[in-house]
Amino acid sequence: MSNCDGKTLAPMSISNDLYNDLVYYFKYASSAYTMPCLRPNGNHLVIEISNPLTDIQCFVARDDHRKEVVVAIRGSASVTDIVMDAQIALVPFISPGVKLPSGARVHSGFLLSWDSVAMQIVTIVGRELARYPNHSVVTTGHSLGGSLAILGAVTLQQNFETTSIRTYSYGAPRVGNKIFADYVNATFGDKAHRVVHGNDGVPTMIPTQFGYHHHGVEYWQYTHPPSEETTAKCNSEGEDLTCSASIPSQGVNLAHMRYFGILATTPFCF
């Protein structure tokens, strides 16, 4: 890794426990491509949710060992999804129960996709938290699903203010502008995990010149083999030019479709 002055920097590797968590929640994200997924990551399937107009598919699962309610959202898998991906105008974040700082803007296609399932997810998660008040909430997704996972985390945090909420995205594009990114960073801090594999071009496909800004914290698996020693924790501000943003976008490529040696559509449903 090197900084913008060309000086080599020692990457800040992560702990084994954190690395294992990044892999674990990727398995939920990967499983969201398979419906039905009867036992996501070996846990209890609460409900599967889909919207035929936006073609968004997701599930809510419950892990009573970790005491978590997990929302996993599928990435792009159809022409409809690609059309949503292309709607890059920045718009106010209008969603059930959400009130963000003035000037916060998000990707209009991602917001439309999220809002098509948001009320159902808020209702189901609320029901689960009423039954299991000591459970936390996790949102996760790959690619488009990762972008919706952060919108989901913001929505759920505002609807359930006393609940601990974490979010994990893998290969997700930029979601909103800097005001939105700053809000996410201030609200979630290290509870927002944004994972990038090598030269995956999707996270940088929407350029900052369009007004977009990544939220932190990025975890960049910058070389192989995948391990905690080859995964760097990047600057928490979001746009760390020594991490994946240092590589010009190559769009959807092989690195986008495989994380931690796992094909992004692999089901973990038993």
Q: What is the pLDDT of residue 3?
A: 37
Q: Is omega for the bond preceding 11 within 30 degrees of 0, making it cis?
A: no
For the segment 14-49, what is each residue's pLDDT rounded down to a tens digit?
999 999 999 999 999 999 999 999 999 999 999 999
Which of 63, 85, 200, 240 is flagged as catalytic? 200
- Determine whether 21 is an active site residue: no
For the segment 158-198, what is each residue's pLDDT rounded down to a tens digit?
999 999 999 999 999 999 999 999 999 999 999 999 999 99
Is beta strand 90-92 parallel, antiparallel or unpaired with respect to 68-73? unpaired
Measured distance CA(52)–CA(254) in Å, rounded:
29
User: pLDDT band at 84, cuts 50/70/90?
Assistant: confident
Position 261 pLDDT exceeds 80:
yes
- Determine whether 15 is an active site residue: no
Cβ distance 168 to 138 under 8 Å?
yes
User: pLDDT band at 78, cuts 50/70/90?
Assistant: low
Task: Supply φ then ψ for residue 192, to 5 degrees.
Answer: -105, 110
With vertex at residue 177, the alpha carbon angle to CA 109 and CA 251, rounded to the nearest 5 degrees, is 60
Is beta strand 105-107 parallel, antiparallel or unpaired with respect to 90-92? antiparallel
Measure Cα distances from 101 to 94, 174, 178, 235, 266 in Å: 12, 18, 11, 23, 38
Q: What is the pLDDT of residue 2?
A: 42
With vertex at residue 92, the alpha carbon angle to CA 179 and CA 220, rounded to the nearest 5 degrees, is 45
- Write down the pTM of the prediction: 0.94
- Domain residue ranges of the chain, discontinuous segments joined by +: 16-261
User: pLDDT band at 104, cuts 50/70/90?
Assistant: very high
- Quick check: helix, strand or coil at residue 165? strand
Find, among 20, 21, 45, 22, the residue nearest to 32 by Cα.
45
Task: Supply φ then ψ for residue 56, to 5 degrees.
Answer: -90, 130
More confidently predicted of 81 and 65 = 65
- Quick check: helix, strand or coil at residue 110? helix
State the average pLDDT over residues 229-258. Answer: 95
Topology classification of domain 16-261: Rossmann fold (3.40.50)
Which percentage of the chain shows pLDDT scores above 90?
Answer: 89
Which of 113, 116, 136, 143 is flagged as catalytic? 143
